[in-house]
Structure 1
């Protein structure tokens, strides 16, 4: 199994067994059931290629309303969280430069994700930890539409943090580590 295939399989499992199972994103279950999540693997060793793929995925979403969201799984090149953050900053600027500000939003996930105001070992970080680094493209119009029908959307982050604290750092870390051990 190739590294890309392993990374995509681990990401699919993470979406099902972590994001949906723990209701981290209250909207992911619906998209999973509908089959509207697109998974794309790309090496980020060559940032221009990875960023070109990001814009290609924006264009694909532009022309394919049946795809709700794209998870761009970065299979190599940004294992270091600081490198990932540098790529993320460029990706966000690129979306603006390409006219996608207000159209698409990037959500960020990384195995070592750490919020700016958090200690690395805090369970809250696991709300944005994934088996592989990724850029998650979401349509802003879809987010707005979903939030209209969701009671108290402002409470989602606090609810997620509480859930991560209940699960505990060791359990969360073990789940994530298990997903990274897909055969290559």
Structure 2
């Protein structure tokens, strides 16, 4: 998108390109990155209400602009603890339903300490959802459905990603993620 990116958003864009696309974690990310149809927005999450309002504003922006396929809300300050982030995510998902966006948009979740339920913290598979900062990925359901219908064996994507992350190993993945995140300013 033509907007000037904050340092956190620029680092997030670098993560999308240098990690997500480079490791093909999302086989659809490259197309959207090249098309510049990903919007990057930095939001303070120190107080939940304004952060949740920003989520609704981004839904409305997607409603109004077909040129934006997806938005990454970079949640700066306030959700560093993964459990707090999960609580916030649950409220955000409920808000999308309350606002009538169920079936229109969905949220994908990313956090620096992401850990799948039942997984060990050091399992490399967790890196499929680890990011420089806590974030919400707001996706158009229609765009996702379209992409999945034109991708061979989309059900295999998660298993392929897990296998790839485990091949690379936690140490290498942690170093790659750390290199993409500039020093904290808060």
**Structure-1-length-normalised TM-score:** 0.96
Q: Indicate the residue corresponding to 1:64 in structure 2.
A: 65
Q: Indicate the residue corresponding to 2:174 in structure 1.
A: 173
- 1:148-178 superposed Cα distances (whole Å, 9 cap, x missing partner): 1000000000000011011110000011112
Q: Indicate the residue corresponding to 2:129 in structure 1.
A: 128
Q: How far off its partner does 1:182 sit?
A: 4.2
Q: How far off its partner does 1:10 sit?
A: 1.3
- 3-state SS of 2:109 partner: strand
User: Which residues of 2 match residues 81-92 of structure 1 at below 5 A?
Assistant: 81-92=82-93
Q: How far off its partner does 1:179 sit?
A: 2.0
Pairing 1:109–2:110 present: yes
Q: How far off its partner does 1:9 sit?
A: 1.6
Contact residue 10 and residue 182 of structure 1 kept, 8 A: no
After TM superposition, the runs of 4+ consecutive aligned structure 1 residues lying more than 3 A away are none
RMSD: 1.1
Give the Cα–Cα distance (whole angstroms) in 2 for the partners of residues 69 and 182 of structure 1: 26
Give the Cα–Cα distance (whole angstroms) in 2 for the partners of residues 117 and 143 of structure 1: 27
Structure 2: which 5+ residue stretches go unaligned?
none
Q: How far off its partner does 1:183 sit?
A: 6.8
Give the Cα–Cα distance (whole angstroms) in 2 for the partners of residues 33 and 16 of structure 1: 10
Contact residue 108 and residue 134 of structure 1 kept, 8 A: yes
- 1:69-90 superposed Cα distances (whole Å, 9 cap, x missing partner): 0000001100000000000000
Q: Between Structure 1 and Structure 2, how many residues are aligned?
A: 181
Give the Cα–Cα distance (whole angstroms) in 1 for the partners of residues 184 and 130 of structure 2: 20
Q: Judging changes above 3 Å, is the alpha-carbon distance between structure 1 residues 171 and 64 closer, same or farther for their aligned structure 2 residues?
A: same
- 3-state SS of 1:66 partner: coil
Pairing 1:43–2:44 present: yes
Q: How far off its partner does 1:180 sit?
A: 2.4
- 1:63-118 superposed Cα distances (whole Å, 9 cap, x missing partner): 10000000000011000000000000000000000000000010000000000020
Pairing 1:163–2:164 present: yes
